[in-house]
Amino acid sequence: MDERIIGIDFGGQYNQLVARRVRECNVYCEIYSYRTPLSQIRDMHPNGIILTGGPNSVYEEGAALCEAELFELGVPVLGLCYGAQLVMQVLGGNVSRGTKREYGRTPLSLTEAGAKSPLLAGVPENSICWMSHFDYIREAAPGFLTTASTEGAPVAAAEDPGRQLYALQFHPEVVHTEFGQQMLANFVRNICGCSASWNMEDFAQRKIQEIREQVGTGRVLLALSGGVDSSVCAVLLSKAIGKQLTCVFVDHGLLRKNEGDEVEAVFGDAGKFELNFIRVNAAERYYAKLSSVTDPEQKRKIIGEEFIRVFEEEAKKIGAVDFLAQGTIYPDVVESGLGGESAVIKSHHNVGGLPEHVDFKEIIEPLRELFKDEVRKVGLSLGLPEHLVFRQPFPGPGLGIRIIGEVTAEKVRIVQDADAIYREEIAAAGLDASIGQYFAALSNMRSVGVMGDERTYDYAVVLRAVNTVDFMTAEAAEIPYDVLTRIMTRIIGEVRGVNRVLYDITSKPPGTIEME
């Protein structure tokens, strides 16, 4: 990879977003912790460096800092929020605690110098930026010109074009900063001189080449779940090494209706990709293990462990392989604390770690540089069907955690059928693309109803639909009443064992998106 911007992470909440926004300018960007030695950063030959936000105060003892030499590498540097204050603090400006916090959408005005700033080219004299700070730059460092200000931040933007140093007190990476994307594009393209050549078609072709070189004549084993990441991983490997790849798809009997067959149709012998596909139908095994288990955490644990066991058994049949492939993507890398600083520990893991009894020499993770939307683009460019590429998130434990209480084959059938109707009707109403995630779950409540002239005592299906930006918080979606009514009528009419349909209006927090 020739061109790259390096983001230095000081622990702020938007740091991954910075990398995404830069990549949207078709320039490759990756994040490193502020603890990364300067020599390592220099050896990566970045075209530009972005210092991101962070929770500290730059003048506090123990604050995350950077060395002054960072500003002498001859590489353009852009500091954002905390990063901007850091530039000023290290180079002799003054950063102090403000009297009040400036937060949210804030009017931004360019100064006279701002009108000529290469960073602010194309930004009108007055616009809106997104602020989130308590400390403020009281005085810019010597040599800096103030290029923009807000009511609470006299130095909202400053630069020393001679040294190619830039600072923005606000967050250009947040969509609420009207011209934020323009500023980032100005920085990476015009100031850093990057050529906007990062695109997913090239990435895929380059990766295929790299995989061929890395794998040689070796064999690769991949656990394919049918989710976006492992599917794209499979296709990329298949294009690179064909039948040297074996994919094991464990159908745990907790997938959505027809999903197992859909995955097989794409990757199996009848599909268009060259690879060895092994489907293991393990539903009975899972149901037996889950019999009379009601605790959600225990269910998750059993499902995860059983997956490892089934996978290991298959791997044993295949024998020693050279590589174990994983569909790890960039947010997983950053969130597990390997890349950046913001260690949001992922609470959901599909499998309980690496299988211990699989005989392999190395791990191969072809997607570890990519964000989810980039993974999708790679998938599409390599010919994966849209229904697979744009799949909603589906938890590893599957319907096991969408059935409250004990899991049985009968309950799986009920929730599969209800969910299929729900999805059909949402799509028919044209709401598919406008709802973040939606699915049917099965409560463990049974209640009395009347159907025909008969008393019933059946289950209640729960419909869930949420809108969310990052899946950390979510709001219940407002589905039109007539659509809900149609879904209710069909589910009760067509799915045996159900006599009530409930719509869950709980937001997250306090609820979670899944029921267990």
Which residues does the annotation mark as catalytic?
81, 171, 173
Q: Considering only residues 326, 350, 416, 499, which one is a binding residue for ligand XMP as defined by CB under 6 A?
A: 350
- Report the distance separating Cα 431 and Cα 417, nearest Å: 20
Q: Are strands 165-168 and 276-281 parallel, antiparallel or unpaired?
A: unpaired
Count of chain residues binding ligand XMP (CB under 6 A): 12
- Which residues from 396-455 bind ligand XMP, rule CB under 6 A? 396-397, 437
Amino acid at 19: A
Does the protein bind ligand XMP through residue 231 (CB under 6 A)?
no
Give the nearer residue to ligand XMP in terms of CB position, either 172 or 396: 396
Does the protein bind ligand XMP through residue 513 (CB under 6 A)?
yes
- Report the distance separating Cα 320 and Cα 357, nearest Å: 10
Does the protein bind ligand XMP through residue 393 (CB under 6 A)?
yes
Q: Are strands 220-223 and 437-451 parallel, antiparallel or unpaired?
A: unpaired
Q: Mapped to the 3 state alphabet, what secondary structure does 167-185 carry?
A: EECCCCCCCCCCCHHHHHH
CB of 348 to ligand XMP, least distance (A): 3
Segment contacting ligand XMP by CB under 6 A, of 193-201, 246-254, 445-453, 508-516: 508-516
Site string for ligand XMP, 461-490 (x = CB under 6 A): ----------x-------------------
CB of 6 to ligand XMP, least distance (A): 29
Does the protein bind ligand XMP through residue 395 (CB under 6 A)?
yes
Segment contacting ligand XMP by CB under 6 A, of 87-95, 200-208, 421-429, 507-515: 507-515
Give the nearer residue to ligand XMP in terms of CB position, either 176 or 368: 368
CB of 29 to ligand XMP, least distance (A): 25
**CA triplet 331, 334, 337: central angle to 5 degrees?**
145
Does the protein bind ligand XMP through residue 106 (CB under 6 A)?
no
Give the nearer residue to ligand XMP in terms of CB position, either 162 or 510: 510
- Which residues from 39-78 bind ligand XMP, rule CB under 6 A? none
- Report the distance separating Cα 22 and Cα 172, nearest Å: 11
- Report the distance separating Cα 512 and Cα 7, nearest Å: 32
Does the protein bind ligand XMP through residue 512 (CB under 6 A)?
yes
- Report the distance separating Cα 316 and Cα 356, nearest Å: 12
Burial 28-63 (b: 16+ CB within 10 A, else e): bbbbbbbebeeeebeeeebbbbbbbbbebbbeeeeb
Segment contacting ligand XMP by CB under 6 A, of 11-19, 357-365, 421-429, 505-513: 505-513
Phi, psi of 45 (to 5 degrees): 50, 60
User: Which of 377, 365, 326, 368 minimizes the C-alpha distance to 349?
Assistant: 326
Give the nearer residue to ligand XMP in terms of CB position, either 139 or 335: 335
The 10 Å Cβ neighbour count of residue 69 is 10
- Report the distance separating Cα 131 and Cα 154, nearest Å: 13
Segment contacting ligand XMP by CB under 6 A, of 201-209, 212-220, 290-298, 395-403: 395-403
Segment contacting ligand XMP by CB under 6 A, of 199-207, 315-323, 351-359, 388-396: 388-396
The 10 Å Cβ neighbour count of residue 272 is 11
Tokens, residue 238: 């298949």
Q: Considering only residues 138, 285, 309, 508, which one is a binding residue for ligand XMP as defined by CB under 6 A?
A: 508
Does the protein bind ligand XMP through residue 331 (CB under 6 A)?
no
Give the nearer residue to ligand XMP in terms of CB position, either 327 or 395: 395
Segment contacting ligand XMP by CB under 6 A, of 131-139, 210-218, 252-260, 394-402: 394-402
Give the nearer residue to ligand XMP in terms of CB position, either 348 or 357: 348
Give the nearer residue to ligand XMP in terms of CB position, either 224 or 241: 224
CB of 234 to ligand XMP, least distance (A): 17
The 10 Å Cβ neighbour count of residue 246 is 20
Q: What is the DSSP string of 184-197?
A: HHIIIIIIS-----
Give the nearer residue to ligand XMP in terms of CB position, either 319 or 353: 353
Furthest-apart CA atoms within the chain: distance in Å: 86
Does the protein bind ligand XMP through residue 327 (CB under 6 A)?
no
Specify the DSSP class assigned to residue 126.
Answer: E
Q: Considering only residues 272, 348, 361, 496, which one is a binding residue for ligand XMP as defined by CB under 6 A?
A: 348
Give the nearer residue to ligand XMP in terms of CB position, either 384 or 474: 474
Those residues with Cβ within 8 angstroms of residue 493's Cβ, 6 or more apart along the chain or in another chain:
none
Segment contacting ligand XMP by CB under 6 A, of 109-117, 276-284, 389-397, 404-412: 389-397
Does the protein bind ligand XMP through residue 189 (CB under 6 A)?
no
Those residues with Cβ within 8 angstroms of residue 221's Cβ, 6 or more apart along the chain or in another chain:
245, 246, 247, 248, 315, 318, 321, 323, 324, 325, 358, 360
Residues found near ligand XMP in the complex (CB under 6 A):
348, 350, 393, 395-397, 437, 471, 508, 512-514
